[in-house]
Structure 1
Amino acid sequence: KYNKIYQHFSNKKSHKYQDEVSLLEETILQVAKQLQSLQNEVDERTKSLVKQTHTLERERNFIQGLLDTAPLIILTQDKNGKIITINRFGKKHIEDGNENLIYENVFIADNNQKQHILELLDRLRSSQTGKIRFDSTLDYHNDRSRHITWFHTKLSDNHPDAPLILSIGLDITDRKVAENRLAWLANHDPLTHLCNRRSFQDQFSNLIDIAHRQKQSVALLYFDLDQFKYINDTCGHKAGDVLLQVIADKLREVTRSSDILARLGGDEFALVIYGISEDGAVKVAEKIFSSLQSIDYRIEDNPFKITVSIGIALFPKHGHSIQELLANADLAMYQAKEAGRGRIHVYSPDAEFHKRIHHELYWKDQIQQAMDENRFVLYFQPILNLRTRTISHYESLLRMLDKNGKILSPDQFIPVAERVGLIRSIDKLVVDKALDIHKSLLSKGYDIVLSINLSGQALADEDLQNYIYDSLANPQVKPELIIFEITETIAVSNFASARHLMERIRSLGCSFALDDFGVGFSSFYYLMHLPVDYVKIDGSFIKKLENSQEDQVLVQALAEIAQRLGKETIAEFVENAKILDLLEKYGIHYAQGYHVGRPMPQILFSKGIGDSRRTI
């Protein structure tokens, strides 16, 4: 509009002599021009302000969106602690319709923290510090408590109505729960909720120190379940776990809260009682014994009687340290088991018993050292096919070398290894070494069948079974060239587990042999139902075969029954040609013994007896 005024006056003709009117016109032109310039500037600034307003509005909406969606409590306070602003998350969790909340209601739910937190906030408001941090418990309106970490910062705006403090609350409840769970697990057995070994030893050690100062006695009851392994083998580990939980609950009922009750591992439990005599400890053991016997536990609807063997050691009578007391209580428990299981035994220094235990400990150390130093080796004994008079396969036999290189037979270390818990490692070692030899033979072009012995531990140890299965599934292994051997006594006494193991391993293509057949249970019923391919007749029936009519009758009967059941027979301890001829006459399929070939550290490749051999 100012441009129109300017154009109107600027189009008029100018006169030679300017009068007042012309001067006025000129002034109007200048004013119109200036006003137009100002209008243009106003328009530009208005556009800029609108643009900035839109930008600020977007930024504000973005920040508000962040505040409302962030899983944090975000609020501001004035100088009196009144909450001025609070985000949506904060409103949901703490405001609950109260628009006049002050910091005490938000930050302080625990009266024990109140004074400390008030002092911190006062220091922040008075600018003695620029920021503070503390943890507090927040009581929600739904009666739940949450753990919050608060971060408070002093704001710089000095306007009297402006917020003074910015507060951000982070909910750390889940982390606290996880931390508490980890702390609990560090001291408790997760299955039974009793103390674990670590916590038990700490508490026991502290109690011994107190008893020493106060000249009091302390009793340690150490016990485990009789035949717990049978339950695990027949019903599975889940059933065993359920039984352990039932027993733990029963033990809580018959012990005091001041006693230390722990599960040390497996089916082993320990109870520590302060200020009790030997007679009193025995009475508590009897109470535990009768209480556990009252448990109505059934296996496939058949009642199973729960019994424990309890060993007792007392401080200071039987030891002054927890290590000594645990060792002596353990010895007492073994003495109870040797007396017939389901017994209570107070530690007594039985010299002969201790001598045997120390002997086992010595051998345990020797076996462990031999494993660490790779002093276990395999020897290989040939097995002759009596129908073709050729070597059919080789049995892998474990030997241990002592520190001087002397060869030790399995009879010297295997029984100890089974008692002290090292047999599982030996089983793995034998499988590893035998399969290494097997793969080496294959790489040289020899498809030679190897037989590998397994202990009874393999029947109950699912981890070991998985290890064997995985080893056989290796593409470098030919399972059809592997035979596993397990003794008749072990297989029959763990029938269900033996059958499961055999079926699983045979599914890969391996074969199974039942070793030492004819001793122990001698049950042909089990032979009918066990998926074995070979039956190895025990050497005690073969050694005197040529001179013993009873052995001849028995061997013929075993051979006939095995053949009718579709099993091939192997005779052990064949030491001369006469025995070999008798075995062939009775229809025995294979022969093994010194007459066929002695165990050797390498496989001697031969066609049969008397043939020239060369080492592979």
Structure 2
Amino acid sequence: MESAQRHLRMALDAARMMIWDSELSNGKVIDSTVKWFAAGTSLLGLPPGDLSQPFSTFLQIVCPEDRDHLLDTMQEAVDKRTGYEVEYRVQWPDCSRHWLAAKAHVFCDEHGVPVGTLGIVWDITERKENEQATARERELAAVTLRSIGEGVITTNAAGVTDYLNHVAEQLTGWTLEQARGLHISTTLKLIDDTGAPIPEHAALQCLRLKQAIGASSHNQLVTRDGRHVAVEESAAPIWSDRGELLGAVVVFRDVSHERKLSKQLSWNASHDTLTGLINRREFEVQIADALHSAKQDNHVHALLYMDLDQFKIVNDTCGHSAGDLLLQLLAKMLQTQMRDSDILARLGGDELGVLLPHCPPDQALLIADQLRQSIKNFRFVWDDHTFELGVSIGLVEINHLSKSMTELLIAADQACYLAKERGRNRVHLYQDSDLRLARRQGEMLWVSRLNEAFEHQYFRLYAQPIVGLCGHGGGHDEVLIRIQPAKGELILPGAFIPAAERYDMMTAIDRWVIRAVCRHVQSVRDSLGPQQAYVAQRQPAPAQYSVNLSGSSLSDEGLRDYIIEQFVEHDVAPEQICFEITETAVIANLIKAQDFMAGLKALGCRFSLDDFGSGLSSFAYLKALPVDYLKIDGVFIRDIANNAINRAMVKAINEVGHVMGISTVAEYVEDEPTLAVVRELGLDYAQGYAVGTLRPLSVSD
């Protein structure tokens, strides 16, 4: 027996293992006694010798994060009368930490009651450190492989540099041997774009928060030799297998080219590349800021709109190269004549804008006149030509009563227009009456253009489909009018309708459209073969064409008779025509509208109430009107997919319309999401580019 015990101890010593023994009194490990024999106490950092201690005392030596795990593992083994294997850490008196592994069996008395455990325990610190080192190297290798072509630096948990890859050495100027042991803030010194120290290094933030830090693209690397390199850096923590934070890995790359390109693009977006002045877009931002300060702080500013009077002569005489040089020289000259706070912009072509911050009108007039005089005195020489220039300047005050940036620009443009009208090379201070005057002058110009359109047959008709939804058939086309001059682009009605309404030309336009549509219907029928024409005659004619009528036409006593004459002359079935009248026009002419609509409705014409909802009036008057369709105002339709209020409004109009037996039409259905909501709400028809585009409507002479 003694020989066997001796051999056992020798084997344990060779394996550097110790006896692990405990005595149980009530089946609770926490109340047990732990016994250490001979050199076993060295595992606790104590001198050799037998030691008996309460388990609770021994547990204080165990590292706090491992205590619960150790106790639970041992207690479970006791409860099940089995053995256990466990690894845990202990802290020695010198505060160093060591890993121990234990394996033991539970012993019971003759009644099966656990009375103790017996096993072995040994030190595995070296193995654990090797495992952690291997895990760290594996993590480092993986990150490095993923970061080929980018600089990679790793640190320990204190932020001290451990490793640099070759790219990091090239970018920072530090070799691995030089950098190892230095703090990351030295090996990867970062500053912001202004040259100031950054609030917190990405690696240190990563270590503090114990999480990955996303890429930052606003910093610069200060290399070992003092050069500045624009970089984009990110950091991620390095973890051990047991979840210990081992350090951080920082990945960074040179983004000098990208940042330079980005700055150039940003500059180009807000500046005129020819003159270097800010462009119209940025100028509008500056005006908006000035308007905000005027409203919030009651500041007063001034806006100048400048139009060069002789610039076109330079271009026509000497070419665009001369014109470009003239603008460059003029921009530099004007900047020398202005206050440091003043803002000069090129708005386009030969138009310039000036914002005079904190400048009352009387002072602004002086500055504007000084600029005018400077331009007048400016001489531009190209080859043998010498040019004198002039400038017309419109001036607008920006104060707390100013309405919007757009209206300020319009007012400045109108003031500039009046300066040119009154002899050029002068400054005109905008007055409230200027806009009305300019509008009247513009409208009077349109009168002559409309007369020209009638005389030379410049009017054109287009058709846009109104498509049935949810099984509704009987779709038809809305007829839209345009002007196509002999030279120039197509003119939309928004440009000429206001003038036509002011000067009582809308009735004439409406009559032209009605006659043209009737001629079109006749030409389509005449183009059919005999059999198709016979079938068409025997089928009820649907409302195929929807014609807009202005409010003034409702007061035209002879319009109804004119419409009937056109039906008779061109053999058009009244059922083929639907007249569209806006809600506001009907309300303004309700009695006449009722009489007009009733007469044509009796013939078979149909009626559509356009822009319904825009007047925010009640549904009550609908009972007195023979309306077939409600066209819901596009203001409610455009954003219906994202705006709950618009959706509710459309839903209410649709439901009330259906209760009254009126079909509903959604205007301005421009995309699939809007169309999907319109279908979902159960509207009968849709109109817009999502269901059909405009097409020319042929009209025979």
Larger strand fraction of residues: 2
TM-score by length of 1: 0.45
TM-score by length of 2: 0.40
Q: Which has the higher contact order (CA 8 A, sep 6+)?
A: 1
